[in-house]
Structure 1
Amino acid sequence: MALLIAVALFAAQALNFAIAVRDRTQFRLAQAAGQSVTRITDALERERTSGRPLSPDRGRVRRVAANPIPPGLERRDEVAAELRAQLGELGIAAGRIDTGIRQMAPDEGRDRRRSGVALVVAIEQPGKGWLTTNAPWYRADRRLMAALVFQTLILYVIILLPVMWIVRRISKPLRSLAGAARDFRPGDGANPLEERGPSDVRAVIAAYNALSLRVNAMLDEKDRMLGAIGHDLRTPLAALRVRIESVEDDDDRTRMADTIDEMNRTLDDILSLARLGRPSEPPTDVDLSALIDAVVDDFRELDHDVAFEEAPRLKMHLRPSLMRRAVRNLIENAVKYGGGAEVRLLPSERHVAIEVADRGPGIPPDKLSAVFAPFTRLETSRNRDTGGIGLGLALARAIVQDAGGDITLANRDGGGLTATIALPR
């Protein structure tokens, strides 16, 4: 708005300047042509009534034999055209009309001495020679430009500065609203925004406050529903786990137990993914190197080939249980599809990278982004060893994005896949 007003003021002042210059040009033309025609008319009338010819060396209007304007002078054709028109209206015959701008002597008229130049007019009368006279001629006045510039600056001060102050007062509550919307976190207990500013801005802030209350209420209801679903599903699963103990066949009992464990893990993944928007665990300062080492030790205790390069202590502010789960999901995929995992922690000045690499079959390049979608699996069999429901990567990315980072996948040279967690420091 301020820029628009500044441009409009500049355009108005430019138009004002153009009008002033045009008026001054017309005044200069009328002053020069009108005064010259008046003098020539009076001189011709005196010549006719007195019978004495005009002198070639004295008087305001002189009659000379040849054109008195030398070739090097600056011509003013618009003055010549105006002179011809006015003389024609008075019935005075004129042949060639010539004009020129010359420097004035110090002893010439006071008014013309202000500009330092005069307009020389020469009018040919066929068979009688040339009539010549001087007229005032004003150069472009720099004071006019300075006055307009000063006037523009005054307008900017009087109009633009108050407008910018008003616009800033109007936009301040909007900036607060934008910041609150950008930083909105469900369930963070933030106070409602103060409703201030013009009526329409206050209406938008009130709508945002009401919307945030509704969103929090819906998420509270979702958490209660998920808690009820988790309880209602785990209860029959626990009962089934007790009942399978009565199965006499060891193989059948083991397969049933594995199936129940798989259902419990699936239920945990689904509930974790659904609740991730409002995690109950607060962020704390943790040693990221120790956290990864603990996850790797869990896999080593199960005789999985997982290697972790020793890394220095690295203090990070995050949710440790969720980050542990994200790293575990990546290592679990590497073990499942590649038979083992190589884990590295690579800190840099602005980011921290956690790399989990394997020597498995990799992922086709056109599927590297699709595998992050929930319930997406490239391996379509129902084999328990390579199965699952496709929530591991989706849950890991959601956890990392909640921490302000992201996960990327890339195929390794020589086969295999590298999953990289990038976290801001």
Structure 2
Amino acid sequence: MIRTRLDSLRVQLLLLIIGSLVTAQAISLWLFVDERSLAVRAAIGAEAAGRAANVALLLERAPQDLHASILRAADSPLARFRVDAHAAVDHLDHRAGGAVEAGIRSLLGTEDTREIRVELHEVERAFPPMRTVPPHMAAMHRQMMHDKITGLELTLSIALADGAWLNIDTRFQRPPLQWPVFSAVSFGLTAALLIGVACWYLLARLTWPLRRLAQAAESLGRGEEGKPIPVAGPREVRDLTDTFNLMQERLVRTVADKTRIMAALGHDLRSPLTALRVHAEMVEEAETRDALVTSIEEMQDMVERTLAFARGMAISEPPETVELGDFLTRLKRDMLDAFQYETGAPLQIRLRPHSMRRALRNIIENAVRYGSDARVSYTREHDRVLIRVRDHGPGIPEAELDEVFEPFYRVETSRSRETGGTGLGLSIARSILRSHGGDVTLQNHPEGGLLVQLELPLSQNSDSQDRTGS
């Protein structure tokens, strides 16, 4: 059931649109987070540069005994100041620290040429405890940061006038991935509005005409009388609908013309045959008269069969939805138990009852005539139903299994109507089955006899009820 829904054009297009929206939103969020990271890095670099320049100037201008107090006051949970004999930065990384160095020199003065070293790299280790932070605040800070900070470390080394170095360690986390509530609500409303209103309406304009077209094609294949489909939807769908309507009109007209010609031909032959019968009765020689009458009667029978064949091809009876088991039971009763019937599971099938009854009668009567008995059963295979009629007769040569469906073809080569029919029974049956969107095939059973298999499409109501029940 789920796979069937996923095969729907509307569902696939909706999934494509939703996937595109989610992908676009994810890319936007990633770019937004990267921009935030760059902004935070620039802000912290600027703040570190300002504090480092001010502390360096203050240390050079303040007495020596105040240096320790100045360093303690400058410390913070994420920044550590100290004065060492050697620079903490042993190499230069101007790609990462050029902006920081420029900020420091702008605060120190343009004439200041002291050496400034900057290093920026990723770290993942515990930060040394700050001198000015109380123990309980340090513990809370470590717990909040899970005892270590994963992010970036900015190390500055500024040369002082007395030859010492001011070393500053500053660390900051990369900004975590955040999706504000407002952004989430905005995305949800936009997606709902786009999919629920615009896309659903547009997809409905596309899929509903296609579904209606598929139903019309199925009805035409079943032989039901089809009406022109209303033209709707996009231009391509409208062109397809116009083409289908034209094809349906031509097909129905062609079949009707051929059927009408055949019926008219058979009807017009009745008058000359009747006249021949009258003239034949006037022949005095008995042997000649009987031969002529027999030939004329055979021709009259063939004309009647031709008219019956034409009526079998005509699509005039309205289709009905019937339960196949009840339909076969009534047929068995009407034929005075001429065949054995194996009941099966209830199946709803759409057919023209009188035409289908005629097709089954022809096949069952052939089975009883040439195979001495007939056994009828049916099963369901996917969206089709198979009706099997088996006899225990001699069967049909393999080379003639397809030829027997040709009009007036007889396996029994004599012209006697007592030993064989006119050869139209199977032709009429196949025409009726194909007008229902099905077909009929013959095969010799491995255990002897002939197996006739009638294939018909299931009713859509039956199929939907079965899916609901399963």
Q: Secondary structure at the match of 2:440?
A: strand
Where does 1:9-408 land on structure 2 (aligned, <5 Å)?
Answer: 9-47=21-59, 55=68, 57-60=72-75, 61-64=81-84, 82-83=96-97, 86-87=100-101, 92=115, 94=117, 100=123, 121-123=154-156, 131-137=167-173, 139-144=175-180, 146-167=181-202, 170-171=205-206, 172-184=208-220, 220-245=256-281, 246=283, 248=285, 250=287, 256-257=292-293, 259-281=295-317, 288-289=328-329, 291-292=331-332, 308-309=339-340, 322-331=355-364, 333-334=366-367, 339-346=370-377, 353=387, 355-364=389-398, 370-371=402-403, 374=406, 383-384=414-415, 391-403=424-436, 406-408=439-441
Q: Which residue of 1 aligns with 2:445?
A: 412
Q: Which residue of 2 aligns with 1:71?
A: none
Give the AA of the match of 2:30: A
Matched length = 396
Deviation at 1:193, TM superposition (A): 5.2
Segments of structure 2 that go 5 or more residues without pairing to the other structure are 1-12, 76-80, 106-112, 460-470
Q: Secondary structure at the match of 1:62?
A: strand
Q: Secondary structure at the match of 2:45?
A: helix
Segments of structure 1 that go 5 or more residues without pairing to the other structure are 69-78, 298-306
Deviation at 1:23, TM superposition (A): 0.5
CA distance in structure 2 between the aligned counterparts of 1:347 and 1:131, rounded to whole angstroms? 93
Q: Secondary structure at the match of 1:384?
A: coil
Provide, for residues 99-153 of structure 1, a one-character-per-residue CA deviation record: whole Å limited to 9, x for no partner.
64657969989xx99x866965444689956712335545315344x44433321
Provide, for residues 257-309 of structure 1, a one-character-per-residue CA deviation record: whole Å limited to 9, x for no partner.
55445544554555544554534455688964454565579xxxxxxxxx633
Give the AA of the match of 2:389: E
Deviation at 1:234, TM superposition (A): 3.0
CA distance in structure 1 between the aligned counterparts of 2:250 and 2:199, rounded to whole angstroms? 36
Deviation at 1:419, TM superposition (A): 1.7
CA distance in structure 2 between the aligned counterparts of 1:31 and 1:161, rounded to whole angstroms? 43
Aligned CA distance change for structure 1 residues 272 and 9 (closer, same or farther; 3 Å): farther
Would you say the 8 A contact 2:388–2:451 is kept in 1? no
Deviation at 1:253, TM superposition (A): 5.5
Deviation at 1:231, TM superposition (A): 1.9
Aligned CA distance change for structure 1 residues 273 and 34 (closer, same or farther; 3 Å): farther
Aligned CA distance change for structure 1 residues 255 and 35 (closer, same or farther; 3 Å): farther
Give the AA of the match of 1:248: E
Identity of aligned residues (%): 27
CA distance in structure 2 between the aligned counterparts of 1:403 and 1:360, rounded to whole angstroms? 30
Would you say the 8 A contact 2:37–2:175 is kept in 1? no
Q: Which residue of 2 aligns with 1:6?
A: 18
Would you say the 8 A contact 1:67–1:130 is kept in 2? yes
Aligned CA distance change for structure 1 residues 208 and 19 (closer, same or farther; 3 Å): same
Q: Secondary structure at the match of 1:132?
A: strand
Would you say the 8 A contact 1:375–1:391 is kept in 2? yes
Would you say the 8 A contact 1:47–1:54 is kept in 2? yes
Give the AA of the match of 1:399: I
CA distance in structure 2 between the aligned counterparts of 1:317 and 1:147, rounded to whole angstroms? 56
Would you say the 8 A contact 1:409–1:418 is kept in 2? yes
Higher relative contact order (CA 8 A, sep 6+): 2
CA distance in structure 2 between the aligned counterparts of 1:320 and 1:95, rounded to whole angstroms? 94
Aligned CA distance change for structure 1 residues 65 and 158 (closer, same or farther; 3 Å): farther
Give the AA of the match of 1:83: G
Aligned CA distance change for structure 1 residues 130 and 277 (closer, same or farther; 3 Å): farther
Deviation at 1:390, TM superposition (A): 6.1
Aligned CA distance change for structure 1 residues 119 and 353 (closer, same or farther; 3 Å): closer
Q: So what's the TM-score if we normalise by structure 2?
A: 0.62
Q: Secondary structure at the match of 2:443?
A: strand
Give the AA of the match of 2:274: A
Deviation at 1:229, TM superposition (A): 1.2
Q: Secondary structure at the match of 1:418?
A: strand
CA distance in structure 1 between the aligned counterparts of 2:31 and 2:450, rounded to whole angstroms? 74
Range with bigger deviation, 349-358 or 223-232: 349-358
Aligned CA distance change for structure 1 residues 247 and 403 (closer, same or farther; 3 Å): farther
Provide, for residues 72-124 of structure 1, a one-character-per-residue CA deviation record: whole Å limited to 9, x for no partner.
xxxxxxx9962377549968454876664657969989xx99x8669654446
CA distance in structure 1 between the aligned counterparts of 2:67 and 2:397, rounded to whole angstroms? 109
Deviation at 1:46, TM superposition (A): 4.6
RMSD, aligned CA:
5.3
Would you say the 8 A contact 2:223–2:437 is kept in 1? no
Would you say the 8 A contact 2:319–2:352 is kept in 1? yes
Q: Which residue of 1 aligns with 2:4?
A: none
Range with bigger deviation, 217-226 or 48-57: 48-57
Range with bigger deviation, 19-28 or 392-401: 392-401
CA distance in structure 1 between the aligned counterparts of 2:33 and 2:339, rounded to whole angstroms? 82
Deviation at 1:357, TM superposition (A): 0.9
Would you say the 8 A contact 2:408–2:424 is kept in 1? yes
Q: So what's the TM-score if we normalise by structure 1?
A: 0.67
Would you say the 8 A contact 1:363–1:417 is kept in 2? no
